[in-house]
């Protein structure tokens, strides 16, 4: 997107476009590109070079200093790259860019976003998608993985699978595709955070834990039962993975309409979660023969019953600074439940939101659960639903030894306009 080349793949030859090439937001200098048959004329209408010569008379590549929008307009630099492409390098403030673009729109240019420009001018859909996703990567770790895909990791794996199919090496082709698909969950969360919900009975320390994990006082903490009513969210990174933490209302039989609405929101958040941290109060039932309070048992049962099978679950026994042997609480709760639940491959972590004990272990457990095997440097990772769907279709075609269908669907990932209607 530097202007060194302007491949015209999907550009309408009769249309002149205007696009901001530099990232959105303020900067020192912004670059706006006018592209199309009318680019030189449109810019000439807005720009007056210091030496007074029209842009149309300047040789390609000449950098011209001048003013935009009349003799008192902003001073900027214009460069005609070729007959159809003119770059305007203006002040990087948002108002300056908006003014340049709107004046070119008045000259008949059509504004598009840089993502659209990339899609129209790049022949490599994976590289384009990676470039767009990179601009939304929330952490260095996710950006590194996307950068690998930008530099060809995914495309190389797809080509390797195609070559294996052509050579009749079906097993190798299947292994290559399945190794890529093994990273589908990570790929789906490179720009979209994992949803981690703190749930459990009132007053067990959900909000306190949320604040410990977030590193600041995001949610109100109080000794009153039922303090949190709404779903309170914050974005953070755990081991470099983007995570949206949601603190929820304590689950119990609601005392009023507001609490009832809070419990309904909590239940919805749990149902949508990638992971639930089911928080228990380690001080509540240290005696094994002591019956659990009705609210605690009902809350835990309710939470578990609405948990989709795919959801990761960690039991967090909080307030361990107040008890001598927190395992007694776990044992007591398991005995009351009949048997330890194996349903979600559940983990148990002991914490104190007050002293910070166990918080590092909790962070570790969350990271391990959401990404059990992190991609190695340079690994192929699919990062869009279209890529995953195509790879899954390729895997099916490989399993049924359908070389034509497999290669067609893999090619559709590598090149624009090679997708098939009937695989």
Ligand X SMILES: Nc1nc2c(ncn2[C@@H]2O[C@H](COP(=O)(O)OP(=O)(O)OP(=O)(O)O)[C@@H](O)[C@H]2O)c(=O)[nH]1
Positions touching Mg ion (CB under 5 A) are 206-207, 227-228
Judged by CB under 6 A, the residue of 40, 99, 191, 203 near ligand X is 203
250 is a site residue for ligand X (CB under 6 A): yes
- Rounded-to-integer distance, Cα 145 and Cα 383, Å: 10
User: Which residue's CB is nearer to Mg ion, number 206 or number 344?
Assistant: 206
Contacts with 95 (C-beta within 8 Å, 6 or more apart), sequence order = none
Which residue among 322, 360, 373, 399 contacts ligand X (CB under 6 A)?
A: 322
Q: Are 262 and 183 in contact (CB under 8 A)?
A: no
Can you tell me the distance from the alpha carbon of 153 to that of 99, in angstroms, rounded to the nearest whole number? 40
Under the criterion CB under 6 A, does residue 262 sit at the interface with ligand X?
A: no
| Residue 302 Cα to chain centre, angstroms | 30
Q: Min. distance of Cβ 215 from ligand X in angstroms?
A: 15
| Binding partner of 204, given ligand X, Mg ion, none, CB within 5-8 angstroms per partner class | ligand X
Q: Which stretch binds ligand X (CB under 6 A): 29-37, 61-69, 106-114, 204-212?
A: 204-212
* SS3 state of residue 32: strand
Partner whose footprint covers residue 242, from ligand X, Mg ion, none (CB < 5 to 8 Å by kind): none
Distance CA 201, CA 185 (A): 30
Contact between 99 and ligand X per CB under 6 A: no
Q: Which of 99, 131, 195, 208 binds ligand X (CB under 6 A)?
A: 208
Asked if 223 is part of the footprint of ligand X (rule: CB under 6 A), the reply reads: yes
- Verify binding: residue 354, ligand X, rule CB under 6 A: yes
Cα separation, 381 vs 156, in Å, equals: 11
β pairing state of 232-238 and 47-49: unpaired
Residue 149 vs 329, nearer CB to ligand X: 329
Q: Does residue 347 contact residue 365 with C-beta atoms inside 8 Å?
A: yes
- Residue from 353, 366, 371, 380 touching ligand X (CB under 6 A): that is 353
Question: Looking at beta carbons only, is 89 or 206 nearer to Mg ion?
Answer: 206
Nearest-approach distance from CB 267 to Mg ion, in angstroms: 16
Which of Mg ion, ligand X, none has residue 202 at its interface (CB below 5 to 8 Å by kind)?
ligand X
Is the CB of 356 or the CB of 378 nearer to ligand X? 356
Which one of the spans 46-54, 348-356, 361-369, 404-412 is the region binding ligand X (CB under 6 A)? 348-356
126 binding ligand X? (CB under 6 A):
no
Cα 88 to the chain's mean position, in Å? 32
- The stretch among 22-30, 44-52, 187-195, 216-224 that binds ligand X (CB under 6 A) is 216-224
d(C-alpha 316, C-alpha 274), whole Å: 16
For residues 254 and 302, give the distance between their C-alpha atoms in angstroms, rounded to a whole number.
13
185/268 with CB nearer ligand X: 268
Q: Give the sign of the dihedral formed by CA 305, CA 306, CA 308, CA 314.
A: negative
How many whole angstroms from its chain centre is CA 68? 39
Rounded Cα distance, 210 and 24, in Å: 32
CA-wise closest residue to 340 among 309, 372, 300, 370: 300
DSSP state letter for 374 = P
Based on the shown chain and the rule CB under 6 A, indicate whether residue 360 belongs to the binding site for ligand X: no
Report the interface residues with ligand X, using CB under 6 A. 202-208, 221-223, 225-228, 250, 318-319, 321-322, 352-354
């Amino acid at each position: 997107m530097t202007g060194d080349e302007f491949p015209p793949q999907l550009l309408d030859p009769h249309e002149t476009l205007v696009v901001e090439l530099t990232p959105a937001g303020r900067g020192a200098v912004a670059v706006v590109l006018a592209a199309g048959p009318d680019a030189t004329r449109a810019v000439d209408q807005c720009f007056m070079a210091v030496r007074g010569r029209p842009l149309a008379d300047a040789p390609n590549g000449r950098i011209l200093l001048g003013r935009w929008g009349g003799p008192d307009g902003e001073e900027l630099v214009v460069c005609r790259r070729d007959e159809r492409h003119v770059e305007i390098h203006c002040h990087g403030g948002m108002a300056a860019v908006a003014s340049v673009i709107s004046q070119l729109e008045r000259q008949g240019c059509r504004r598009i976003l840089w993502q659209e420009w990339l899609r129209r001018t790049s022949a490599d859909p994976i590289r384009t998608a990676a470039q767009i996703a990179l601009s939304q990567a929330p952490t260095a770790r996710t950006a590194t993985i996307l950068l690998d895909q930008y530099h060809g990791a995914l495309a190389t794996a797809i080509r390797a699978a195609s070559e294996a199919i052509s050579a009749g090496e079906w097993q190798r082709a299947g292994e290559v595709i399945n190794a890529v698909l093994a990273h589908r969950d990570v790929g789906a969360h490179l720009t979209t955070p994992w949803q981690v919900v703190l749930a459990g009975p009132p007053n067990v320390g959900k909000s306190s834990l949320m604040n410990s994990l977030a590193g600041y006082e995001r949610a109100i903490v109080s000794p009153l039962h039922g303090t949190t009513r709404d779903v309170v969210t914050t974005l953070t990174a755990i081991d470099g993975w983007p995570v949206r933490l949601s603190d929820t209302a304590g689950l119990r039989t609601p005392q009023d309409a507001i609490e009832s609405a809070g419990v309904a929101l909590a239940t919805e958040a749990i149902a949508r979660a990638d992971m639930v941290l089911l928080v228990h109060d380690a001080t509540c039932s240290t005696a094994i023969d002591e019956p659990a309070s009705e609210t605690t048992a009902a809350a835990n049962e309710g939470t578990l019953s609405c948990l989709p099978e795919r959801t990761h679950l960690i039991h967090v026994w909080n307030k361990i600074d107040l008890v001598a042997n927190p395992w007694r609480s776990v044992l007591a709760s398991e005995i009351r439940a009949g048997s330890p639940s194996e349903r979600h491959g559940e983990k148990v972590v002991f914490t104190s939101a007050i002293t910070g004990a166990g918080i590092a272990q909790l962070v570790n457990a969350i990271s391990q659960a959401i990404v059990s095997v992190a991609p190695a440097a340079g690994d192929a990772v699919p990062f869009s639903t279209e890529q995953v769907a195509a790879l899954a279709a390729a895997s099916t075609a490989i399993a049924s030894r359908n070389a034509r269908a497999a290669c067609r669907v893999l090619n559709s990932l590598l090149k624009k306009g090679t997708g098939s209607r009937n695989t």
